[in-house]
Amino acid sequence: MEQTNLYREKIRKLLTPYYENEARKLHRVIDRIFNQYYGGINGRDMDEYYGIGTDVLTGIWKKDIYDFSRGDFDGYVYQSLRIAFIDEFKRQNRDKRAAKVLSFDENTGKAVKISVPDIRLDAPLKDGELTTQGDLLRSDFNLEEMLLQKEDQDERIENYLHSLPKTARRIIEMRMEDIAVCEIKRKLGLTEREYRMFLNSARMNENLTLFAKVSERQLREEYKMEDMIPIDVTDQYRMDKFPLGSLLDDMRDGKINKKHILQRKAFQWTERQKNKYLTRVLNGQPIPEIVICEQTVNGKKKSHLIDGLQRLSYSELFRADGIVVKSDGAEFYEIPYKEYKYDREGNVLLDGDGDALFEEKVFNVIGKKFSEFPQFLKERFQKFNINVTTYFNCTDDQIAYHIRNYNNQEGMNKNQYEFTGMDVHVAENIKRLSDEHPFFKDCCGKYTEKNKAKGDFDKVVAESIMAAHFINDWKKEVKDSFAFVNRNAEEYMFDSLENSLDRLSVVVDREVKHMFTIVNSPVWFAVFEKFKSLKIPDAGFRDFIKYVSNSLERPEIDQKLFADLYKSRNTRDKAVVFGKVNGLTKLMYEFFHIGEDRAGEHAQKEDVQEYDTEAFLSELVGIDRETLSEDLPLYHDTLDDLEKNAIRNGSRLLEDRNRLSLLAMVAYSYKEDMDLDEWITVFAENNNTYFTDQKKNYLYMKKDLNRFAERKNRSSA
């Protein structure tokens, strides 16, 4: 026994690197085996083989089979994994291990044994068909059945369906109509992978928790008031204990807002992390605190969930039977409990001393829905105590600070963290496109559910604004892009992008959607912005995308340089992005046989706009004509001085056709008694372009000046 323990301790130390960082080394070795011997993954479900790999390592640990004198432990693991995979392939593809079942032979009148060959669930019913054997089996989690079982919840079902991507909604509706999976895939033109992707988005949708059963209300009252610190003895925050069920009820009922505009999305964890967390809760082991920020808006208090979104979201979905605990990562999943003994009339049996009799049982939570749990375990989950820190009277800036502060380690990725620095109104403009627009929601491009969860669409929207309107100021770093858009973007820019997405949603089909990757989507949106001025039907742009796609695969001699640029790995470099936008624009004009004269027609129309100076200033700045006539020479002298001393030489802001809007800024500064010197120096450093429409340019600069003044006042307060 002692020798066995010594062996296992040595093996444990050797195996530890394979399990660190979410088993990264183990997965890397398995991937290498597939690439070397089987030509890559070939569409197989790698989770299955990762699980087999875990079993192999467990076997090495449990069985005294490794000879330490060999010295090459990694090589031994490699060969063990390879042999296990060979055995698995044989098992899946041979008929030798066919099951034996009884059948009736009509000729002899006797029962006989016949062989039933193994059938893979992902095997097609017929060659060339989309339908697989697995399509004919009942799922362990029937989403549409769960929806149909809900009574008097038509409004909730409609809200849930409305929140889904269009294709996912159609799948659920068709399943609720009892249409076979193979027919759904045929009608919607979906591959098996696409079908599973959309079905998974429906199963992991936050609004599925609308159907969660109401927990016992007495739990809320019983636990909410327990051990609370009186608010008058605290400074700006308070720490309490709340039962998990109460928090989930408050989230479901909208009393806790889990969708603050700066908050990232739910369901960011891996399968392993999710299972480890749920088994921890079910075993009554403590978890990190939940953080809430209270804010008063229009006289009403709002509670925003700042830290703990993943913990509560997975708990919420678990309670709603939306997910189950699986073995990967789960620990202590066999939970002991005691159950009272009852007589036939349902009364608790008592012993001789009058105490209740009970029997000890063990419940394995793996694969079980929450509704299938014994009552004691449901109550343990509902009553599970969580530390909650609440901050009071928070401003938008304080909420953003707390989101960043509580997610400054592993919580948020780079996109999500930098997004928290946005002003709320700019963040709302980004989110109404990245979260709600069908182009992203329905994955019209080459997008995945992971892109949605990781905040990639927020980055795409911000970089699309940069590429379309500020290409000369392109920023390589995500944080710089968000900061620039936050400071410079105007409402009409988001409206214009929304218009582009509306139109592209119609024409971007399966044949060209692969061109709209996370990296290249901003480039295509910027080119479409130029396309809109050509007055060509949108279907023509789809033909152009297809032409570019084919050209990249078989580039002609004069297009080879652009093809190399388009495929460059330096995807975020300013020169690359600038080259892509200009290169695609040039190809577009050539494709539509448009010369430079017509291509620049729209811009020329803006360039030749002429304004009466006094009328322009009077209308936009709000100064009467008589005063303007007297003060106009002063405005010109002031602007001359600013151009000479505050704006760097070579800046495009100094071009003659931009003088009118700058003159209006001078007039505005005199009217409002504001100093332009510091602002215009900073503005010129961050902006080397301007709108040829001088009204638009003036409004843009005026807004930037006011923001600059607000920030300066806050910093000096």
Tally the residues of the chain: 717
Tell me the two tokens of residue 40.
Answer: 């890559």
Interatomic CA distance for residues 134 and 123, integer angstroms: 8
Helix (H, G, I), strand (E, B) or coil at 350: strand
Interatomic CA distance for residues 446 and 456, integer angstroms: 12
Interatomic CA distance for residues 702 and 615, integer angstroms: 18
Conformation bin of residue 555: beta by default, left when phi > 0, alpha when psi is -120 to 50: beta
Helix (H, G, I), strand (E, B) or coil at 50: helix
> What is the per-residue pLDDT for 35?
67
Q: Residue 158 phi/psi, 5° resolution?
A: -65, -40
Q: How wide is the angle at C-alpha 334 spanned by C-alphas 13 and 339, nearest 5°?
A: 155
CA dist list (Å): 99 to 115, 116, 119: 6, 5, 11
CA dist list (Å): 154 to 149, 150, 225, 319, 458: 11, 8, 35, 21, 32
Average pLDDT of each block of 10 consecutive residues along the chain (717 residues)? 71 82 81 66 60 81 71 79 76 49 49 48 46 42 50 62 78 77 81 77 66 47 44 61 89 82 73 88 87 84 84 88 86 83 82 82 90 88 90 83 65 63 80 86 82 83 91 86 86 88 90 90 92 88 90 61 69 83 89 68 46 82 84 88 80 82 91 88 77 82 86 71
Quote the strand ranges of 341-384, DSSP E.
358-364
Interatomic CA distance for residues 434 and 453, integer angstroms: 11
Q: How wide is the angle at C-alpha 162 spanned by C-alphas 157 and 164, nearest 5°?
A: 105
Cβ atoms of 290 and 354 closer than 8 Å: no
Q: How wide is the angle at C-alpha 252 spanned by C-alphas 138 and 140, nearest 5°?
A: 10
Burial of 393 (0-12, 13-18, 19+ CB in 10 A): exposed
Buried b (16+ CB within 10 A) or exposed e, 399-427: bbbbbbebbeeebbbebbbbbbbbeeebb
CA dist list (Å): 216 to 213, 228, 246, 320: 9, 21, 9, 15
Helix (H, G, I), strand (E, B) or coil at 523: helix
How many other CB atoms sit within 10 Å of the CB of residue 166?
A: 14
Mode of pairing for the β-strands spanning 358-364 and 237-243: unpaired
> What is the per-residue pLDDT for 524?
93
Helix (H, G, I), strand (E, B) or coil at 113: strand
Helix (H, G, I), strand (E, B) or coil at 207: helix
> What is the per-residue pLDDT for 116?
45
Residue written as token pair 């040039």: 586
Interatomic CA distance for residues 460 and 478, integer angstroms: 10
Please tell me what DSSP assigns to residue 237.
Answer: E
> What is the per-residue pLDDT for 185?
82
- The domain segmentation of the chain, as residue ranges, is 2-93, 145-211, 217-406, 414-607, 613-716
Beta-bridged to residue 305, according to DSSP, are: 292
Output the CA torsion sign for 126, 132, 133, 138. Answer: negative
CA dist list (Å): 606 to 440, 594, 693, 695: 33, 19, 6, 11
Tell me the two tokens of residue 474.
Answer: 């392109």
Mode of pairing for the β-strands spanning 290-297 and 300-307: antiparallel
CA dist list (Å): 528 to 512, 543, 593: 14, 13, 17
> What is the per-residue pLDDT for 708?
85
Interatomic CA distance for residues 670 and 655, integer angstroms: 23
pTM of model > 0.75: no
Mode of pairing for the β-strands spanning 385-391 and 290-297: parallel
> What is the per-residue pLDDT for 202?
74
Residue written as token pair 């049982």: 361
Interatomic CA distance for residues 599 and 586, integer angstroms: 10
Interatomic CA distance for residues 474 and 480, integer angstroms: 9
H or E stretch including 304? strand 300-307
